[in-house]
Chain A
Amino acid sequence: MINDKNSQKIVDIIRNYARKHSLWILAYGTGCGAIELPPTMTSRYDAERLGVRGAATPRQADLLLITGYLTTKSLKRVIRVYEQMQDPKYVIGFGSCTINGGMYWDSYNTIKALDRYLPVDVYINGCMPRPEAVLSGFAKLQELIQDGKANGAKEYKENLKWYRDNQKKVITNWKMPEYNW
């Protein structure tokens, strides 16, 4: 009775409701994006109303917020951070740099599309997105979590080879631990 499909569905609904209202973010603050987070968290926009809270380490975080361009050097660190996070985990790409390179489209060491290397659940566009846009991004992610559609981490595990190939194409000297979940 406990393990049949309907009760699993009910458990999922409750779990998703709790996950939706408790997003602990780990902000990877490269570039100019990190400056948009203090106004989002403090008294003017107050993201803590939605249950959004900063986490100190990747082990405790649910949501990886990549705020801006990623060079190949920082991509390496971001991949390690992402793989240290515990399931369920989500990624938000923040700003046009993560979508199509933005103003760094011809830079010699900046990747142009984040979702080739990490599974992105929600993109927030803009250069830079204002705190309202950030809040709407959080709200969109909450919607996806409630519907059970925010499963980027599952995708990452299923298509690990494709992601790894893309990552190794950019990071030529690959000296990272291989995780097998």
Chain B
Amino acid sequence: MMMEEIKTTIIDRIKLHFSDAVEKEFSYNRLDFSVKKETVPSILFYLKEEMGFKHLSHISCVDWLEEGEFEMIFILWSPEEKIKVFIHTRVDRSNPVMDNIDMIWRQANTYEREMKEMYGIQFTGLEAPEEFLLEDWNGPPPMRRDFDTEAYAAKTYWERPGREDALDVRETVEKRTGEVLPEFAKKYKR
């Protein structure tokens, strides 16, 4: 079967069962669906059991600070059809609660612990020890965009004096040698 046919079959079957799924096509072997938060466990279960997406590649999170939402992304891979499916969903940022899916894939537990620690997303019924990557952490979740890591580092860790002017390499080079930076380089400044 051609990849286009596979894609249309997947879209048709998903849309038939999940009316809130909005599809979006990407490169050759990738399909994206945006769904509501409540649909996520059932669509993941359906994809795994009925359509052969046996492998959970990754669970990721994006902080949309301006819109007040977290976007969670589940990446699945089908070894038979050689196609990956991304499931997007939005979670309210002020009350980030998500359904736990580690009964579908055991390895989701690890990703969820990381999300919980780094973004502060609560998974209902997640059974895991308290600490994962951060030990003795008492600040806000560090991967949120409103967490100022520079200020936190300056407050917590002692800094050796002498590199205040060398925080940005391009600026320092400009200042010390008088070399003028081209326009395109300035775009990437801190």
A–B in direct contact per CB < 8 Å: yes
Chain A residues within 8 Å of B, Cβ to Cβ: 72-73, 76, 99-101, 105-113, 116, 166, 170-173
- Which residues of the partner chain B approach A99 to less than 8 Å between Cβ atoms? 160
Is A108 touching B136 in the complex (CB atoms < 8 A)? no
Is A112 touching B135 in the complex (CB atoms < 8 A)? no
B125-153 contacts to A (CB < 8 Å): 133-139, 142, 147, 149-150, 152-153
- Which residues of the partner chain A approach B147 to less than 8 Å between Cβ atoms? 108
Any A CB within 8 A of the CB of B158: yes
- Which residues of the partner chain A approach B159 to less than 8 Å between Cβ atoms? 100-101, 105, 112-113
Best-buried of A106, A111, A113, A172 by chain B (most CB within 10 Å): A106
Is B139 touching A108 in the complex (CB atoms < 8 A)? yes
- Which residues of the partner chain B approach A109 to less than 8 Å between Cβ atoms? 134, 137, 142
- Which residues of the partner chain A approach B163 to less than 8 Å between Cβ atoms? 100, 105
Is B138 touching A106 in the complex (CB atoms < 8 A)? no
Is B167 touching A105 in the complex (CB atoms < 8 A)? yes
Is A113 touching B160 in the complex (CB atoms < 8 A)? yes
Any A CB within 8 A of the CB of B162: yes
Neighbour of B149 across the interface among A76, A107, A116, CB < 8 A: A107
Any A CB within 8 A of the CB of B26: no
Distance in angstroms from A166 CB to nearest chain B CB is: 8
A107 CA to B134 CA, complexed, in Å: 13
Distance in angstroms from A77 CB to nearest chain B CB is: 10
Any A CB within 8 A of the CB of B188: no
Any A CB within 8 A of the CB of B156: yes
- Which residues of the partner chain B approach A113 to less than 8 Å between Cβ atoms? 158-160
Known: A110-B153, A111-B157. 14 other contacts (CB 8 A): A72-B136, A101-B159, A105-B159, A105-B163, A105-B167, A107-B149, A108-B139, A109-B137, A110-B157, A112-B157, A112-B159, A113-B158, A170-B157, A173-B136
Neighbour of B162 across the interface among A72, A73, A100, A111, CB < 8 A: A100
A90 CA to B139 CA, complexed, in Å: 34
A28 CA to B139 CA, complexed, in Å: 28
